[in-house]
Amino acid sequence: MADCIRVPLLLVLVSLSPFAYPHPGEFTGARLVPNVENSHQNPAGGPGPAAERSVPGVGDRASAPRRRSAGWKLSEEAVCRDDLIRLCPRHSWNNNLAVLECLQDRKEDTEIAAECNHLLWNYKRNLTTDSKFESVAQEVCKATISEIKECAAEELGKGFLVSCLVDHRGNITDYQCNQYITKMTSIIFSNYRLICGFMDKCIDDINTLRCGSIITGDKDIHSQGEVIACLEKALVREAEEQENAHIIRDGCKKAIMRVAELSSDDFHLDRYLYFACRDDRERFCENTLAGEGRVYKCLFNHKFEEVMSERCREALTTRQKLISQDYKVSYSLAKACKSDLRKYRCSVDATMPRAREARLSYLLLCLESAVHRGRMVSGECQGEMMDYRRMLMEDFSLSPEIVLHCRSEIESHCSGLHRKGRTLHCLMRVGRGDASAIDPNCQSALRTLIQEADPGADYRIDRALNEACESVIQTACKHIRTGDPMILSCLMEHLYTEKMVVDCEHRLLELQYFIAKDWKLDPILYKKCQADASRLCHTAGWNDTNDVMPPGAIFSCLYRHAYRSVEQGRRLSRDCKVEVQRILHQRALDMKLDPELQRRCMADLGKWCSDKGEAGQELECLQDHLEDLKSDCREIVGNLTELESEDIQIEALLMRACDPVIQAHCHEVADNQIDSGDLMECLIQSKHQKEMNEKCLVGVTHFQLIQIKDFRFSYKFKTACKDDVLKLCPNIKKKVDVVICLSTTVRNDTLQDAKEQRVSVKCRKQLRVEEVEMSEDIRLDPELYDSCKQDIKEYCPNVNFGNAQVMECLKENKHQLSQRCHQKVFKLQEVEMVDPELDYQLMRVCKSMIRRFCSESEGKNVFQCLKQNKNSEMMDPKCKQMITKRQITQNQDFRLNPVLKKACRADIPKFCQSILTKATADSELEGQVISCLKLKYADQRLSPDCEDQIRIILQESALDYRLDPQLQIHCTQEISRLCAEEAAAQEQTGQVEECLKVNLLKIKQEDCKKEVLNMLKESKADIFVDPVLHTACALDIKHHCAAIPPGRGRQMSCLMEALQDKRVRLQPECKKRLQDRIEMWNYAAKVAPAEGFADLAVQVMTSPSKSYILTVMATSVALLLLLGIFCGRVTKRVTQELKDR
């Protein structure tokens, strides 16, 4: 087997042989050649039996049955006749070697028939195995053979002797031997012939594939590189399982790969590639030294340049495909990684077939596994690995699995995108857009290729991504070292920002979609979480498979443990949790980056969210339709939403939109390593700050709306109230129902003065936060929102939901609302009056006034405090206006005034039962009960507590007619007609009431007149009810009635007596107002006489002239009694007789 050892030298020799090529006619008259030609024409020159057996395709036309005893000539073969006539002079036809020279010497652009080509090749092959042919060499080179021991030991009849002499041609000193060997080599031998046993192993495949050829390329007439190229292409077609691909025998496969391996050092030795790329080498690699595979690498790097010739590109691709089948075909890679392969035992896997171990992919995966485990791999080897990983990403055709399994997808979606990795990204894009559009085998092949190339470790491996994102990296990620894995993370952080460009965005998402399917493809995540994944998720090594936990499920396992409490145990390490959070932030940018979510929710996405194409919309859509989703999808969406509630920073788009608000109001919370829901709570509380923008507001509100679907989606509420919910509200899931359940429990315990609250302190505190948040937006109360949806469209179409504006709009239009909505609004108002802190608009508008006047008041007494300070000079006008609106609402129904309801709980059924009986459930009483109590107040029949509350109401409504619902209802037209100017005043101080009193005689509507008369009646009972009179007589009251307590008409009686007392001088304005009131009261007595004895008695007892009236009445009764006594005897007596009848 000495010839196997000398092969590289022979290849070099053959590559240099054009310089030693002799003139065609040099041996024409020589003794050696005629002997060969004339003595052995038939045995060696003709096709002979061997040709007949080996070339079935040539058969009839070329050489089949013709076995001539002598004088067979190439020129007589029909398959070469046309080419011979066209290319060769007639005088050369009689000499077979001259014909062979002529046809091999043709111009580069001249073609000969394929069957003629194959016939010539077989002729040359037969010459090499002829014993008589070797005998000539023995005769001519006898002395040389004896000097070269290796050649002397060669077996004759197989062509090895001449091979040996060619190998040692540089040492041959004999002129004739040297010339003979040079002549024979230039005509007959080619590269494949120099590999020991090559012909024996590949002859059948060469004949079947029609690879026999004398095509030589320019100026290298002895080279038959086309044969090798033909076999190599066939080997590639077989690996790619192309249609009608020929199965090459194993021995020939090894011989082909051996040829490629032996030519890996110097590209000159690959004759086909050398001639195909000669011009391109000068163009791109002029200064690259030959040897050690350097020219190959240089050409590989320029393979997709526009000016690269197609023939060279094809030859380079074929060689790259051979490298992908056997890494040793790359001299530089095999040399650089030799020690590392041995060190990490990358070629001793007993479970792998030998051919599998030689695959480039196996080498890359094995060494990458070592790198990811933190093992040391030489820098030279890593550099070579990176070159070939980039090569795999650039050209999909180098991966037989991609070619085989993705053929139809490439033809359908990615034709014409072969260069610079565009085909792979096209396949990624199709798979990312619709996984069903990619065959599962193609998906698997893509994932495998991406794992082999491992672009996550260095973005530069992905040329398409590198070129698309170069400008973004230079601006947004320039602070990160080139090639650092964090570059990809940086690009993801700037996704959908102004710095991102469209092409980079697309390439980035396409790659990240597949990286997301295998947690190991993110090198930083793998490095930080390797130990945790092994401990918690039972993972295998980087390059191992694990059927128990597939790669896509590992990350789900990690993030389930990332947010566990100390009590739950089995938590992630700090470094791993940081990386898990980073990945979650990135995946929140696009739902397709979460493979588990996409897999489970594919059907629901198509059903509910097909029109949602912008970033983040798909997940929001799924959350909106949570109740409608299939169980698998609902579970994972629920888990993810629950996770977001704890760490809202996972929502990268929301955080980006809310950055101004966070910086201004929530930076301390945002900087906290442990979020626990604090940041979202801060954003909710800051919803109406000036820094809040529309995108942030929409995102925060959306999250609030999602939270109401399940109390678990509110992390702080879940944490604080979980035990209380299980104990008091079991089987309730919706947050709003849980809040109502717990709130009702708290309220009942409070009203019943329970010794111990059933709801824990921490839950009550958080419950208050949730109730206040829900009051801000009607949509956070689904039952109320659903009841009023149509009313909102009709009466509040352009009103924003935030700041409780829609709720305020419904309150202002409540008389026009549908019955169902009206009832819900009334119930809400009832709750707000009991607990003013839930009145969002009141608390917002009066926030500063509450701090000023009511800082020490309990929450339930805040509104009472505001009412008491309403007329303070320091009261904010907007707050005062809001207080008035709430007073108007409160006076419409006693149930909306919890203090009055409690104080008058005995008086209302006693005096106003008829009103309650007529009222329907949940309908407002429009102030009827309060009006009833006012009349009883005037009659001085109320209980002390109830009287105090009615007095307050009377005093308030006396200053502002709008606080008297009955007066509003019955006197609206009269006020517009008679008191328009007073009603238009910005500040109401009783002018409208005074106007109505003054114009009592002009009032036409009886109901309105009755209300005004009632006002007069009420004012007689308490001067504070008549603000105009009270203001006019304030000084006189201080001087003359200071000792008289207010109420029950006492101070009014005091003033009346002072008016009648001539010794007392009242202020002129007070005197005038008193006289006007007396006239009004007298008129009222005339137009509204007592309706019964009881009413008359009440009028007398409440009259300021009560003493005078009672004196007159007593005198009248006494006179009548005396008259009866003295005059009774004067009447006619009845006789006894009449009595006895």
Check residue 34 and give its pLDDT: 35
Q: Which of 973, 972, 900 is nearest to 931 (CA)?
A: 900
Q: To 10 degrees, the CA torsion angle through 801, 804, 806, 812?
A: -170
What's the rounded Cα separation, in Å, for the pair 140 and 131?
14
Check residue 306 and give its pLDDT: 87
pLDDT tens digits, one per residue of 16-64? 333 333 333 333 333 333 333 333 333 334 444 333 333 333 333 333 3
What's the rounded Cα separation, in Å, for the pair 615 and 723?
37
Determine the angle formed by the axes of helices 7-16 and 250-262, rounding to 10 degrees. 60
Per-residue burial over 300-339, b = 16 or more CB atoms within 10 Å of its CB, e = otherwise: bebbbeeebeeebbebbbbbbbbbbbbbbbbbbbbbbbee
**Could you tell me how many helices (H) and strands (E) the chain has, helices first?**
69, 0
Whether residue 499 contacts residue 560, with contact meaning beta carbons closer than 8 Å, is answered with no
Write out residues in the chain with pLDDT < 50, as ranges.
Answer: 1-69, 188-196, 216-223, 350-354, 547, 1091-1093
Give whole-number Cα distances, 825 to 374, 451, 812, in Å: 66, 60, 11
Check residue 1057 and give its pLDDT: 86
User: Backbone phi, then psi, for 221, in 5-degree steps?
Assistant: -70, -10
- Structure-token pair, residue 593: 């980056």
Q: Which of 71, 88, 3 is nearest to 37 (CA)?
A: 71
Per-residue burial over 1056-1095, b = 16 or more CB atoms within 10 Å of its CB, e = otherwise: bebbeeeeeebeeebbebbebbeebbeebeeebeeeeeee
Give whole-number Cα distances, 1124 to 1113, 1119, 1127, in Å: 17, 9, 5
- Structure-token pair, residue 1108: 């005078």
Check residue 352 and give its pLDDT: 47
What's the rounded Cα separation, in Å, for the pair 301 and 121?
35
Q: Which of 398, 424, 400, 399 is nearest to 410 (CA)?
A: 424
**Alpha-carbon torsion (1021, 1022, 1025, 1031), positive or negative:** positive
Whether residue 150 contacts residue 9, with contact meaning beta carbons closer than 8 Å, is answered with no
What's the rounded Cα separation, in Å, for the pair 686 and 698?
13
- Structure-token pair, residue 987: 């500040």
| Owner of token pair 């993810």 | 640
